[in-house]
Amino acid sequence: MTTRFALLVVAACLIQTEAAAQDIEFADFEGKSYAPWIATGDAFGDAPATGTLPGQMAVEGFHGKQLVNSFRNGDGSTGTLTSPEFTIDRHFISFLIGGGGHEHKTCMNLLIEGKVVQTAAGSNLTAGGSERLEPLSWDVTEFSGRKAKLQIVDEVTGGWGHVNVDQIVFTNTKPPTVLKDAKRELVADKRWMLLPVRTGAPKKVVSISVDGRVERAFDIELADSEPEWWSVLDVSPFHGKTLTISVNQIRDDSKALSSIFLSEVTTEKDLYRESLRPQFHFSPARGWNNDPNGMVFFEGQWHLFFQHNPYGWNWGNMHWGHAVSSDLMRWTETGEALYPDHQGTMFSGSAVVDWKNTSGFGNGKVPPIVLFYTAAGGTGPQSAGQGFTQGLAYSTDSGKTWTKYEKNPVLREITGGNRDPKVIWHEPSQQWIMTLYVERNPKQTIEFFGSKNLKDWTFLSAIDGFFECPDFFELPVDGDSKKTRWVLTAANSEYMLGSFDGKTFTPDGPKLPGHRGRGFYAAQTYSDAPNGRRIQIGWLQAPSPGMRFNQCMSIPLELTLRTTSEGVRLHWSPVEELKPLLTDAKKFSAEFDKPLPCPELAQIELTATAADGMIEMNVRGATITLNGAARELTVNDHRVKLPPSSKDTVTVYVDRTCLEIFAADGVVYVPLPFISPADNKTLTVKRTGNAAVESLNVHRVLGTWQH
């Protein structure tokens, strides 16, 4: 053999060896049909799915635009999808899989001579969960040279009765191994457990067990490497105990489990100084918030509970977070008040002070504060699937600690859509009244219940037309305590005025408009507020992208009933406790139609009074137009009708992620999510026609997190 020929042979062998080592993409399911795969039954259809199917949660984590998804016609369909035969000539088969975790029934199998030699299922068995596909692989070295087939199977017709598969690759490179139920132990010698989070990472189910019992369980987007932020879990109730941390599935090269640690300190150097942290609106230190809950005043403190996901930027894992304030503006979080349990996650509700100890929960020293909540059975990792029920918890130490009633639920499921109990004391009938949203398809109703002891409830009456998060309270008209009306409102803040006799609410007329903006939802008012004040806080659906927290609450609002030309109406105004935060006053009275000298504008309160014509204000990038002739207020692209008036005053509050605007003496309240551009601190006022700006006052609003 010549040297040249020998070199050519060696080169050819190297090329063949390199080709043999290359990965083979066996199936990416990007074609117009499954061919040459063969489908049976009705679960898979004739072609791959283009992502999420009707009625399904969002499917994520697949490659390209298509995948195998057996949710065709829902979980009731079944079938198989079988590949053509192939020869195993690589060490590993890797793939993406999700959906139901029913072993051997919602799965993918490796078949040799018709027998299953390897199998893998999805990860979900209980309500909730995620439709994200996860990477898995098999070591098939022992089957080298054998003929084989892949078969995707859906044999389940109940919950999570489907399977998702994509990106099947034959490879000689060992893929990361996914470990099931990986565990680690730590002794609870410090108060806080810190868990690494990366928003958008695949969700894992983490459980914390003590003495063999699961005490905490939640979904979390664990960071496999460098976290974006740290979630905080209070483990002080288990001090000195061994904590077993379990993760349902995790890659063997992930650092998530090993990086979890305990600490006495939770403060990060930039906490509350993030670029999108609202400065005079409450937001949680970390995680998602939505509905305000359990709002009650007691012993000089305003208690604000709220729907909270401490472990993620998005909705989920509903706890009751808890914050307190002495002035309604500067808030201190005290940790989670209510954790999910076997009856479900903790959905919305209310709070009262049981001054007469009708419940018997009191200790003779401090009257109990009692929380009412919906246990959303079937929506969390710990849930026993008991449906939506109403429970209570109480505190005898002024709200520092909470005990769930041992005989919960106090009201069992009425329909699949009953939730959000609001409880008040009705003095004339000497009983507690609960208003509860109850979905009676196709009707949406608020049902009234009565109780003498907060534990035993009797149905009283119902009224149609309201959806979620009811609130019910009495207010004087024009400040006259002898002339009152009852107000029934719900999640979108539309309301009815009427009378209440201890059993039945009788409306004076149809529903009336509440707020006139967007993104204001599930507002609640305080129980036991001093001096008969009616203080409301709503959930402002104002996203904070890229932050460790998400959403915020509205400014605390004082509600009054006043007579207008159109009848008695609710009026909204910022609470007087906001005034001490206003500083650096600037008054303008002459020159407009050009940028005004306010170089330090960041958080703003602006009040303008105008007559005739139209004025347009641009405040930190938000355009607010007041058209007196057309009786219209426009905020960016949002239009609101104004009641008749010869003069208009509008007050604007601008924070980092939201606007709140008050007009027509408070009849018109316009909250809106809006992220002010960080570099835009300009203020301009333009007039059209005969418009006159009679006054324009501007204040900087101090940040509450700095005090």
Closest residue by Cα to residue 163 from 127, 116, 202, 124 = 124
> Same domain, yes or no, for 39 and 166?
yes
Contact predicate 521/536, CB 8 Å: no
| Counted domains in the chain | 3
- For 602, phi then psi, to 5°, come to -140, -75
Give the pLDDT band (50/70/90) at residue 385.
Answer: low
> Same domain, yes or no, for 170 and 219?
no
Residue 6 domain flag: no
> Same domain, yes or no, for 691 and 599?
yes
User: Does residue 222 have a pLDDT over 60?
Assistant: yes
* CATH code at position 54: 2.60.120.260
Report the pLDDT value the prediction gives residue 9, as an integer from 0 to 100.
38
For 484-518, write each residue's pLDDT tens digit: 999 999 999 999 999 999 999 999 999 999 999 99
Question: Average pLDDT over the chain, rounded to whole?
Answer: 92
The Cα 45–Cα 591 span in angstroms is: 70
Residue 588 domain flag: yes
Contact predicate 257/245, CB 8 Å: yes
User: Does residue 134 have a pLDDT over 90?
Assistant: no
> Same domain, yes or no, for 164 and 28?
yes
> Same domain, yes or no, for 29 and 154?
yes
Give the pLDDT band (50/70/90) at residue 537.
Answer: very high
C-alpha Rg value of the chain to the nearest Å: 30
User: Does residue 673 have a pLDDT over 90?
Assistant: yes
Residue 96 domain flag: yes
CA-to-CA dists, residue 427 to 431, 470, 502, 592, angstroms: 7, 20, 9, 55
Residue 460 domain flag: no
> 16 or 49: whose pLDDT is higher?
49
Report the pLDDT value the prediction gives residue 178, as an integer from 0 to 100.
81
For 43-74, write each residue's pLDDT tens digit: 999 999 999 999 999 999 999 999 999 999 89
Cis amide bond preceding 442, omega within 30: yes
Name the residue type at position 433.
I
User: How many residues comprise the chain?
Assistant: 707
Residue 376 domain flag: no
The label of the residue with tokens 């709070």 reads: 351
Report the pLDDT value the prediction gives residue 10, as an integer from 0 to 100.
38
User: Does residue 590 have a pLDDT over 70?
Assistant: no
User: Does residue 526 have a pLDDT over 60?
Assistant: yes
Q: What is the dihedral of CA 23, 24, 27, 30, to 10 degrees?
A: 80
Mean of pLDDT values over 150-175:
95
User: Does residue 221 have a pLDDT over 80?
Assistant: yes
Residue 611 domain flag: yes
Contact predicate 287/310, CB 8 Å: yes
Domain final residue, candidates 228, 263, 298: 263
CA-to-CA dists, residue 167 to 24, 124, 136, angstroms: 11, 20, 11
> Same domain, yes or no, for 171 and 184?
no
> Same domain, yes or no, for 138 and 27?
yes
* CATH code at position 689: 2.60.120.560
The Cα 707–Cα 703 span in angstroms is: 8
The Cα 385–Cα 379 span in angstroms is: 8
For 556-582, write each residue's pLDDT tens digit: 999 999 999 999 999 999 999 999 999
Name the residue type at position 358.
T
> Same domain, yes or no, for 186 and 256?
yes
For 611-646, write each residue's pLDDT tens digit: 878 899 999 999 999 998 889 999 999 999 999 876
The DSSP element (H or E) to which 535 belongs, if any, is strand 535-540
Domain final residue, candidates 212, 243, 263: 263
For 337-359, write each residue's pLDDT tens digit: 999 999 999 999 999 999 999 99
* CATH code at position 190: 2.60.120
Q: Is the dihedral of CA 269, 271, 276, 277 positive or negative?
A: negative
Cis amide bond preceding 409, omega within 30: yes
Mean of pLDDT values over 395-404:
97
Phi/psi region, residue 44 (left: phi>0; alpha: psi -120 to 50; beta: rest), is: alpha
Mean of pLDDT values over 452-461:
98
Listing DSSP states for 311-365 in one string gives T-SSS-S-EEEEEEESSSSS-EEEEEEE--BTTBEEEEEEEEE-TT-TTS---SS
Contact predicate 421/411, CB 8 Å: yes
Report the pLDDT value the prediction gives residue 682, as an integer from 0 to 100.
83
Contact predicate 138/109, CB 8 Å: no
Residue 349 domain flag: no
Residue 399 domain flag: no
Q: Which domain holds residue 230?
A: 179-263
> Same domain, yes or no, for 186 and 232?
yes
Mean of pLDDT values over 115-122:
95
For residue 561, list its beta bridge partners.
477, 570
- For 65, phi then psi, to 5°, come to -115, -10
Catalytic residue among 154, 219, 224, 291: 291
Domain final residue, candidates 152, 175, 198: 175
Mean of pLDDT values over 605-615:
88
- For 531, phi then psi, to 5°, come to 60, 25
Residue 291 a catalytic site member: yes
The Cα 425–Cα 603 span in angstroms is: 39
User: Does residue 204 have a pLDDT over 50?
Assistant: yes
> Same domain, yes or no, for 167 and 186?
no
The Cα 331–Cα 293 span in angstroms is: 15
Mean of pLDDT values over 399-425:
96
Which burial class, exposed, middle or buried, applies to 143 when counting CB atoms under 10 A from its CB (0-12, 13-18, 19+)? Answer: middle
> Same domain, yes or no, for 191 and 169?
no
Report the pLDDT value the prediction gives residue 427, as an integer from 0 to 100.
97
Give me the helices (H) in 212-322, please: 256-259
Report the pLDDT value the prediction gives residue 20, as an integer from 0 to 100.
47
Mean of pLDDT values over 671-689:
89
The Cα 392–Cα 377 span in angstroms is: 15
User: Does residue 190 have a pLDDT over 50?
Assistant: yes
> Same domain, yes or no, for 137 and 171?
yes
User: Does residue 698 have a pLDDT over 70?
Assistant: yes
